[in-house]
Amino acid sequence: MQNYYKLVILFLPDKDTNLMPIEELFGWIASILTTLIFIPQIHKAFKTRLTNDISMLMIVLAVLGNTAWLIHASLTGNTPLIVCASLIIIMSIVLIIFKVKNEKAG
């Protein structure tokens, strides 16, 4: 039980410490989880070499939407969102390239 309280106290910002603010901590958690949603799809596509069921429109919209988030995050200085949007854009472009190559080959 004491460890639980230590964990809670760790995440409560104190004016005399340099702990990460709780909103930034949740920003990083959200960014990590959001970025991870693309990994299973990319892994499956590379493993099976099947991309017919992946919607090109969905991937393009992911690139466009995350580009807008990247611009917003850059203007507001939101580091977790900058990292997340950048990684999702990269993974989406990888998936687009892989899908186009597979459709040309098949």
Spatial separation of the C-alpha atoms in residues 14 and 12, rounded to whole Å: 6
CATH architecture for segment(s) 20-105: Up-down Bundle (1.20)
Spatial separation of the C-alpha atoms in residues 48 and 42, rounded to whole Å: 10
Domain ranges of the chain: 20-105
Per-residue pLDDT of the chain (106 residues; tens, 9 = 90+): 555 555 555 555 556 667 788 988 999 999 999 999 989 999 999 999 999 889 999 999 999 999 999 999 999 999 999 999 999 999 999 999 999 998 888 6
